[in-house]
Chains A and B, each alone.
Chain A
């Protein structure tokens, strides 16, 4: 199973202040441990929202708003994508992350193909769709 771990933004990350060398080093060690254990799939940091944009979809129109955005509590500064057998294992891994000062990580499970149902192989899916079209055509008659 894959899990995405979201790192919340803070005033410092929004101001574009990079973390100090010590935190970088510890984060590097933590990421290295994840890589060595074969569980890290991706890990990235995101630029602050001053460089970001939002697109709103309403009534067939799209509206683009440029950053920066307020409510820094709900903004994201970075993410990990890790592979684990269960939520408990993902939690056990992320407990070792070198954060402090009240940072709260969010861990979410990624949808896998199995979650969409075991029967939907592409062949069966097409067959399903064709049958449905046939039945609909018959009903119209």
Chain B
């Protein structure tokens, strides 16, 4: 192994161990700036010794022991540090704590609590959002200053300054290294979730554009979210956030060779013919671009969740926000207005085995926590997809099973369907679900090659028309688009015509 190989391996181990190490040290010295310095000392020694001795079998324990020795050394030798520690008022106590700390216990039992304390402290609301993000990515994500700067497209010096100032602010405000309890817990937790979602959205919104430089940020946010979900398994908001991020991240992966493209390529602007899950990822950047801040958006969804807002109020507010942007256009399909259903709760993969049961339990809790389903009108503002909220469906999830809840949602949505509206069918709710719930009109998005799928042809008044047999090819019916009559075509035939100077393909 060359030295660079070993260094890369050591850096990988550092990324795994640094958060736990800093958290354990911070509990002892009660200052995350000092804890990070001590951890960095241990890293420097590791970089010196491990190329010779090899990486130890338990690197976490080795780093903790080294950090402890360095701390005692530094406190003894460095007069300024000793003064600083005396100002903290705990010099002797720290020395004793260092001497007594049982390494195995510190690493296994308390480290979960320490990590949680570190998360809450790094995301303390006394810091600005940029400072919180930088500090979280640095201490918990194990990113270097350079990596953070590259991710947010700011100079490295700016990030370094932000981190230094953040640590100073925390020290000056005497923020205790502890988890919040009681009344302030909800607000502090939402501050943490805001940071994680901001990191995720930064990576996601960046990859909605032309370059794919930042999916790693989505992965970092997902990892932090999962760690938090493990540490706080009883908080539905945390599970809801992880579920939302997983859903959006899976869309990210499916974009090349995307399934579910509409068979009618009549309109080149795909923004018109889109569904809520894709829109939801675009919803936050879209609302951000309308001038709402991330805090406002999160607060409004929280307000609904906490019951402080009625659903009517949210609907009116949402419409007001969108109407303020005069260029909003509703989507249309064959003369109908499509409505999309929020499928965050539907379409979960069924996993098997002990891991599947574990994940299913988490997902069940997440479903219980989210609390409502959105019914939105598909639309766009220029190129940006922006759904218009039409209806909020709340159901008492604690008493309903998932299939009952799905049926309730579809029935309610179907009952309030206007004559010119049509429900969009996606993988979350099957055609059988739609028919059982007696949805009056629904549209199916077909794959490019329609074999081996059970489909009904659009637009289908529910219950009428013959469903295709499983495995048969489905042929599109004759239809009209903007004064052009398209006869029913056999597959693999493209009809081309020019409309408004554009060449349009209609495939069947």
Contacts and interface: CB of A to CB of B under 8 A. Distances in A.
Contacts of A45: 353
B355 interface: yes
A63 interface: no
A95 to B, nearest CB: 8
A88 B142 CA distance: 15
Contact of B355 (A31, A38, A93): A31
Given A119-B210, A121-B210, A126 B223 contact: no
Interface stretch (B10-18, B319-327, B430-438): B10-18
A109 B242 CA distance: 24
Contacts of A43: 355
Nearest to B228: A38
Nearest to B353: A44
Interface stretch (B77-85, B249-257, B340-348): B249-257
Interface string B251-272: 0110110100100010010100
A112 B215 contact: yes
A91 B13 CA distance: 9
A134 interface: yes
B13 A92 contact: yes
A78 B392 CA distance: 44
Contact of B270 (A38, A92, A123, A130): A123
A37 B112 CA distance: 10
A107 to B, nearest CB: 12
Contacts of A126: 265, 268
Given A31-B355, A88-B8, A120 B225 contact: no
Interface in A47-74: none
Contacts of B358: 35
B222 A38 contact: yes
B43 interface: no
Contacts of B270: 122-123
Interface string A1-45: 100000000000000000000000000100100011111101111
Contact of A121 (B112, B216, B255, B503): B255
A38 B16 contact: no
Nearest to A122: B258
B38 to A, nearest CB: 22
A126 B235 CA distance: 43
Contacts of A113: 212, 252-253, 255-256
Contact of A92 (B12, B222, B268): B12
Given A44-B353, A85-B216, A120 B256 contact: yes
Contact of B212 (A28, A36, A93, A118): A118
A3 B289 CA distance: 36
B225 A118 contact: no
Contacts of A93: 16
B178 interface: no
Contacts of A83: 219, 222-223
Contacts of B16: 37, 89, 92-93
Nearest to B494: A133
Contacts of A35: 226, 230, 358
A101 B367 CA distance: 44
A62 B11 CA distance: 48
Interface residues of A, number: 36
B465 to A, nearest CB: 29
A38 B16 CA distance: 11
A111 B503 CA distance: 35
Contacts of A92: 9, 12-13, 16, 55
Contact of B505 (A1, A116, A122, A130): A130
Nearest to A129: B505
A45 to B, nearest CB: 8
A2 B448 CA distance: 29
A116 B353 contact: no
Contacts of B225: 38
B211 interface: yes
B12 A36 contact: no
A114 to B, nearest CB: 4
A121 B258 CA distance: 10
Contact of B211 (A84, A86, A89, A118): A118
A139 B408 CA distance: 56
A86 B12 contact: yes
Contacts of A118: 210-212
Given A88-B8, A114-B215, A38 B256 contact: no
Contacts of B227: 36-38
5 contacts: A37-B227, A42-B351, A44-B353, A118-B211, A121-B210
Which 5 pairs from chain A and chain B are nearest by CB?
A38-B226, A88-B12, A38-B223, A89-B12, A38-B227
Interface of B: 8-9, 11-13, 15-16, 55, 112, 210-212, 215-216, 219, 222-227, 230, 252-253, 255-256, 258, 261, 265, 268, 270, 351-355, 358, 503, 505
Given A38-B223, A39-B223, A89-B15, 10 more contacts: A42-B355, A44-B355, A88-B12, A92-B12, A92-B16, A113-B253, A113-B256, A122-B270, A123-B268, A126-B265
